[in-house]
């Protein structure tokens, strides 16, 4: 991984040692005074009264509240998980290194004697290990209706595991975690990750749990990328795969949408190049990023039926703050999210999604990079475990034609993708949704096509005419659930 000198924030409280709390209070007091001083004053006597901005008032109130409150504890958002610690160095595909890795996970059902009835559920971008409720956490999980006795993923038959990906903030190692080399949170010194890295970490968990081979690898959205990756790169350890609303490689449209989210987030003055943990969180940027994301998760037809052009208060003059019901919906969804997920995690995990490409040339390049970085890590002094001691230089990085050559043809790209899944011969269920604008059905058809071209004769492609867009995998329990249950329980 290329790395230049770390650009630290101009005012990092970590540099002030025991006086950091006093400095933090001083900065917050100064910021509050500045907000009050710069707040525009209404002038009277004009032809029209000034507009009211209750949405901005709420943002300013939250800013003041965050100045007075300590940083969030993301472990309180998700509780009741188990924690596996891999105490050996974990070298990432792009050359970064983690001295150790924690993986938060939860389980349901009972493993059989050889643990061959285990299903691994891979999460989407911001989801946690809490896919379903249990005694240690009775809150409904993000896939509550799909998991349980007699349900799509039947816990009377299967032992089910779900883990939070590395890079996330719900127990697994991520930017919010403390770097043991410095005693401070990683922030943006955290290494760039790939989907392959996330899957490798999950298989370390499976090793710890003494699970040699999965009955099935199941995921939707980013989880569908992971399930395909698991089947291709760990083919001898995966029995069946289910990939829902995912892709074999990220396409420009979804990359652009995630880029816009990251730009909105990083433009928040509180972002501070990712070193915001001692100050105010970039809540405005997170809110804007979530609004963009929510637009991509649902569909126009659903919103036409659900909201139409109805306004919140039709008897009132139009407002510049949320006015139409669709605007109030976006505002509500983003308000809920902006303090529930770490901003740096959003940056790192979404970037991993952008970089995903199951092509053989890309997979080989990442493997070569990692092996070089591992050699460098093994040769490094144990007293200098920081990322900079291991990261690859420009000279170390292998070159690859994939994704860099302007003369690549469609046929060459397809052949590269087919070669990337040549070992994925498991029975495969690929599900697409016609109203999905984030991962259009052409991308799921591409997955099914390359698997078949690679020689897999047990590929089922299932396309849903649902109105819920990308989020259909969370909502349509009847159709998505039936497809999952059939693939898992039928003899194939």
CB 123 within 8 A of CB 165: yes
483: its two tokens: 């497809």
Backbone torsions φ then ψ of 489, nearest 5 degrees: -105, -20
- Look at the alpha carbons of 371, 372, 373, 378 in this order and tell me if their dihedral is positive or negative: positive
What is the spatial distance between Cα 167 and Cα 314, in angstroms, rounded to a whole number? 44
> Which of the residues 128, 163, 221, 334 is marked catalytic?
221
Burial of 430 (0-12, 13-18, 19+ CB in 10 A): buried
> Which of the residues 93, 179, 268, 436 is marked catalytic?
436
What is the spatial distance between Cα 235 and Cα 424, in angstroms, rounded to a whole number? 6
Tell which phi-psi region holds residue 187, choosing left (phi > 0), alpha (psi between -120 and 50) or beta: left
What is the spatial distance between Cα 334 and Cα 353, in angstroms, rounded to a whole number? 21
Q: How many CA atoms lie within 13 A of 155 on its CB side?
A: 17
Q: Is 116 helix (H, G, I), strand (E, B) or coil?
A: coil
Q: Is residue 217 annotated as a catalytic residue, yes or no?
A: no
Backbone torsions φ then ψ of 47, nearest 5 degrees: -70, -25
Beta carbons within 8 Å of 471's beta carbon, 6+ residues apart: 297, 298
In angstroms, how far is CA 313 from the centroid of its own chain?
36
Q: Closest by alpha carbon to 335, among 299, 298, 290, 296? A: 290
Q: Closest by alpha carbon to 164, among 214, 103, 220? A: 103
Q: Is residue 43 annotated as a catalytic residue, yes or no?
A: no
> Which of the residues 357, 470, 471, 487 is marked catalytic?
470
Q: What is the 3-state secondary structure (H, E, C) of 309-332?
A: CCECCCCCCCCCCCCEHHHHHHHH
Helices (H) and strands (E) in the chain, counts: 14, 12
Q: Is residue 221 annotated as a catalytic residue, yes or no?
A: yes
What is the spatial distance between Cα 351 and Cα 329, in angstroms, rounded to a whole number? 27
- Return the number of other C-beta atoms located less than 10 Å from residue 290's C-beta: 25
What is the 3-state composition of the chain as percent helix, strand, coil, each rounded to the nearest 5?
45, 15, 45
Beta carbons within 8 Å of 464's beta carbon, 6+ residues apart: 431, 432, 433, 434, 472, 476, 479, 480
Beta carbons within 8 Å of 428's beta carbon, 6+ residues apart: 231, 240, 241, 242, 243, 448, 451, 456, 458, 459, 460
Burial of 31 (0-12, 13-18, 19+ CB in 10 A): middle
Q: Which residues are the active-site residues? A: 221, 436, 470
């Amino acid at each position: 991984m290329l790395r230049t000198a770390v650009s630290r924030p101009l005012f990092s409280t970590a540099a002030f040692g025991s006086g950091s709390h006093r400095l933090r209070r001083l900065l917050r007091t100064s910021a509050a005074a500045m907000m009050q001083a710069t707040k525009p004053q209404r002038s009277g006597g004009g032809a029209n009264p000034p507009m009211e901005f209750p949405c901005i008032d709420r943002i300013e109130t939250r800013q003041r509240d965050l100045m007075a409150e300590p940083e969030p504890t993301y472990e309180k958002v998700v509780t009741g998980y188990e924690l596996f610690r891999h105490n050996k160095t974990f070298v990432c595909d792009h050359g970064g290194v983690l001295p150790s890795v924690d993986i938060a996970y939860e389980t349901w059902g009972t493993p059989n004697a050889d643990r061959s009835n285990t299903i691994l559920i891979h999460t989407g971008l911001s989801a946690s290990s809490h896919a379903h409720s249990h005694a240690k956490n009775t809150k409904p999980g993000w896939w509550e209706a799909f998991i349980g006795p007699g349900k799509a993923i039947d816990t009377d038959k299967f032992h089910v595991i779900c883990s939070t990906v590395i890079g996330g903030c719900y127990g697994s190692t991520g930017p919010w975690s403390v770097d043991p080399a410095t005693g401070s949170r990683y922030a943006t010194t955290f290494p760039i990750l790939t989907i392959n890295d996330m899957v490798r970490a999950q298989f370390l968990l499976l090793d710890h749990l003494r699970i040699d081979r999965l009955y099935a690898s199941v995921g939707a959205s980013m989880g569908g990328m992971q399930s395909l990756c698991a089947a291709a790169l760990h083919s001898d350890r995966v029995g069946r795969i289910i990939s829902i609303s995912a892709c074999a490689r990220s396409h420009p449209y979804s990359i652009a949408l995630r880029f816009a989210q990251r730009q909105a987030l990083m433009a928040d003055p509180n972002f501070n190049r990712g070193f915001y943990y001692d100050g105010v969180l970039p809540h405005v940027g997170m809110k804007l990023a979530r609004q963009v994301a929510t637009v991509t998760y649902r569909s126009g037809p659903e919103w036409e039926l659900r909201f139409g052009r109805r306004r919140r208060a039709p008897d009132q003059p139009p407002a510049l703050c949320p006015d139409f019901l669709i605007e109030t919906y976006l505002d509500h969804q983003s308000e809920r999210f902006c303090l529930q997920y770490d901003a740096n995690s959003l940056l790192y995990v979404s970037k991993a999604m952008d970089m995903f490409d199951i092509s053989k040339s890309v997979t080989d390049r990442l493997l070569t990079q990692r092996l070089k970085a591992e050699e460098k890590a093994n040769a490094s002094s144990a007293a200098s475990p920081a990322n900079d001691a291991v990261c690859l230089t420009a000279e170390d990085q292998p070159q690859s034609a994939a994704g860099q050559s302007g003369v690549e043809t469609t046929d060459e790209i397809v052949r590269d993708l087919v070669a990337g899944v040549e070992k994925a011969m498991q029975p495969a269920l690929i599900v697409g949704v016609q109203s999905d604008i984030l991962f259009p059905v052409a991308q799921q058809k591409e997955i099914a096509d390359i698997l078949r071209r690679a020689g897999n004769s047990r590929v089922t492609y299932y396309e849903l005419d649902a109105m819920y867009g990308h989020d259909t995998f969370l909502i349509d329990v009847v159709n998505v659930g039936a497809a999952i249950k059939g693939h898992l329980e039928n003899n194939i």
